[in-house]
Amino acid sequence: MAGLTLKGIKKIYPGNDYYSVKDFNMEIADKEFIVLVGPSGCGKSTTLRMIAGLEEISEGELCIDGTRVNDKAPKDRDIAMVFQNYALYPHMTVYENMAFGLKLKKVPKAEIDEKVRKAAKVLEIEDLLKKKPKQMSGGQRQRVALGRAIVRQPKVFLMDEPLSNLDAKLRVQMRAEISKLHKELQTTFVYVTHDQTEAMTMGSRIVIMNKGEIMQADTPQNAYDNPKNLFVAQFIGSPQMNILKAVVCEEAGEVVAKLGALNIKLSEKHQKALKRENQIGKDVYVGIRPAGINMLSKEDNASGTVFEEEIIVAEMMGSETFLHLDTQGNRIVARIDAHHKVTSGDKVRLEMPTDKIYLFHGETEKVIK
């Protein structure tokens, strides 16, 4: 069991003229489940590999349990890593695969046996112990890879996209299994994925990265409710937040976001913030989640911004329907309850309530509160 401290960690690969990881600072508490998430190339694997000791740290300090480990070899860091390709030895049985690391460490046979059987029980692979990797499914192989990590009882588990080779259904199942495993083992987990749903459902905290930088480190709920910037707003949530580029205007004493012919009404708080920050006349990104948009009937009164559009596509999802519309030249998606019977081509009346609107600076893309 251990916490991790990353202080000003940077990585520049030899021959590159840019930092793959820029100034990564973070305290990871003991027993946390941290998920590093972001698009391809954002530096999440590099960060994980530096923690593992598989990649040299160019600048900064990494501590495990308060001890600096920058110069320690991977095997001396008390960590275990699970990779996306499982990296099992094909000629060994499941039992041998799981026992291998302990054997190298010269752990007594009886102790190895106890540890392997205990891990196999936790992962429900006891009946696979005599099989070889090629006789097993992807999900089973992934369990064995996890088993191999568990038997070593590391201080920290590192996982790099461990589920990306599995089909969608198995991925969902293994997601829950890994969360359960984390609870059982009571160990620190650092997990890398590019999949925001995986991050949201598994992490006690998620670290959203872009271009080598941390965009936000937060609980999944807070990252969803209070994104710090446009990148996080668009990355977290599915379908993603609608973003409309508008201009801040003041008309008859009221500050609005002008989107073509549509004046988007704003909350008192937003209006004050825009005035305070001298944003009148400047560009602003208006964000609204698909679920934040209300469907109105003809007679409904609404205090927010009301607009009428023709449905381009209505995607029926069972309990809900996603409406794809075009407003003032911008494609937007609204998520409505399936009891509204609508279809492509219908004209609908919708509302953007002021309290569901997010605003981001046109230049810095930071949230305006």
Ligand X SMILES: Nc1ncnc2c1ncn2[C@@H]1O[C@H](COP(=O)(O)OP(=O)(O)OP(=O)(O)O)[C@@H](O)[C@H]1O
Name the site residues for ligand X (rule: CB under 6 A): 13, 16, 20, 38, 40-46, 194
In angstroms, give the least distance from the CB of 241 to ligand X.
22
Of 27, 47, 28, 49, the C-alpha closest to 38 is 47
Question: Would you say 12 or 63 has its CB closer to ligand X?
Answer: 12
308 token code pair: 């009428």
Query: Looking at beta carbons, which residue is closest to ligand X?
Result: 45
Q: Which amino acid is at 348?
A: V
Determine the Cα–Cα distance for residues 179 and 165; give it in Å rounded to an integer: 18
In angstroms, give the least distance from the CB of 196 to ligand X.
13
In angstroms, give the least distance from the CB of 272 to ligand X.
39
Residue 271: helix, strand or coil by DSSP? helix
In angstroms, give the least distance from the CB of 232 to ligand X.
16
Task: Determine the length of the chain.
Answer: 369
Task: For CA atoms 91, 92, 98, 99, give the dihedral sign.
Answer: negative
In angstroms, give the least distance from the CB of 212 to ligand X.
7
217 token code pair: 């480190």
Question: Would you say 46 or 216 has its CB closer to ligand X?
Answer: 46
Edge-first strand order for the sheet with 213-218 is 79-82, 156-160, 188-193, 33-37, 205-210, 213-218
In angstroms, give the least distance from the CB of 47 to ligand X.
7
Residue 320: helix, strand or coil by DSSP? strand
Of 159, 179, 189, 150, the C-alpha closest to 31 is 189
In angstroms, give the least distance from the CB of 42 to ligand X.
4
Question: Would you say 46 or 242 has its CB closer to ligand X?
Answer: 46
CA dihedral of residues 287, 232, 197, 144 (deg, nearest 10): 170
In angstroms, give the least distance from the CB of 209 to ligand X.
7
**Distant-in-sequence contacts of 320-328, Cβ < 8 A, 24+ apart:** 322/239, 322/290, 323/348, 325/350, 327/244, 327/259, 327/262, 328/244, 328/259, 328/260, 328/261, 328/262
Question: Would you say 44 or 289 has its CB closer to ligand X?
Answer: 44
In angstroms, give the least distance from the CB of 22 to ligand X.
11
Over 159-218, what HEC string results? EECCCCCCCHHHHHHHHHHHHHHHHHHCCEEEEEECCHHHHHHHCCEEEEEECCEEEEEE
Residue 362 CA from chain centroid, whole number: 24
Q: Strands 294-296, 305-316: parallel, antiparallel or unpaired by DSSP?
A: unpaired
Q: Which residue has the tokens 């916490």?
A: 3
Tell me if 127 sits within 8 A of 143, measured CB to CB.
no
In angstroms, give the least distance from the CB of 84 to ligand X.
9
